[in-house]
A and B are shown apart, each in its own frame.
Chain A
């Protein structure tokens, strides 16, 4: 069931209200979109699976930093801090491709299980180099990051030794990688059915997930990504991923920044 994104009463969901209060957002379109997203995720029983949700709304670093799931101004609440060159506007946040990144403080080994994790992003621009989200070890092996294209290959890998495959589907929109098995992970790209990716399992890394870049434990690999949404959560089933995708696309459409 899809909630009408334009229908919300004077009373917002308490979790939506907490986020809007923390971010000092009063815009009615954004408030409605956030409320609808939260309510929809609760209807679809995916809210409780979420560790961190970054709606990236409001157009400034002060509004983009908040985790919808836990909008406290604390590292332990996975509130973002920003480093380097980032531009913030109504379309989300964009790195300069040199050194811009956001630290989620969500640690792979501390906060996620090896065979029960997933990451998602809504990206608005095509990248031919650079990683818009995740982390990888210093040797380019154990990978938990999106890397949508490099030299015609897609190197996005979750919880395995990094591998490449032909680029398939659209380069922009909503992406998810979900791992609930030691044998493979499911990769959902815009415009195609999911891709099962087999590989060599890799232990979780003792490092934080980054947005706009991937953390490689000793440094970072940056991108020119324009992100309008990102999240980190437990593994999602096919139905849960489809519902989550629909909710996020409706959210972006309400904010007139869907691609």
Chain B
């Protein structure tokens, strides 16, 4: 799965910022601690001040392991 790579500074710019009427960006860290956002956020970003996300570099998504207590 393809996701979009953020710098630390870009992540800070997106936290709490809406990309549509009811949905905000949710930058998360992948398993290599890269900050990323998803394809849906980039595709649906329409507000002028966040259109820069459409120029972000793509990377393959590697999820963090599930939070399961095996004991």
Contacts and interface: CB of A to CB of B under 8 A. Distances in A.
Whether chain B is bound by chain A comes out as: yes
Contacts, number: 78
- Helix, strand, loop or mixed for chain A's interface? loop
Nearest to A151: B68
Chain B binding surface, main DSSP class: loop
A98 B1 contact: yes
B68 A140 contact: yes
B58 to A, nearest CB: 13
Interface of B: 1, 3, 20-28, 36-41, 61, 63, 66-70
Contacts of B67: 136, 140, 216, 221
Q: Which of B23, B28, B61 has most chain A Cβ within 10 Å?
A: B23
A164 B39 CA distance: 33
B38 A100 contact: yes
A85 B28 CA distance: 12
22 contacts: A61-B23, A81-B23, A82-B23, A84-B26, A84-B40, A85-B40, A96-B39, A96-B40, A98-B3, A98-B28, A98-B38, A98-B61, A98-B63, A99-B26, A99-B36, A99-B38, A130-B66, A140-B67, A140-B68, A150-B66, A150-B68, A220-B28
Interface string A89-132: 00000001111110000000000000000000000000001100
B52 to A, nearest CB: 18
A101 B67 CA distance: 16
Contacts of A62: 21-22
B38 A162 contact: no
Contact of A162 (B3, B41, B69): B69
Residue of B26, B28, B36 most packed against chain A (CB within 10 A): B26
Nearest to A138: B67
Contacts of B26: 83-84, 99-101
B24 A82 contact: yes
B40 A162 contact: no
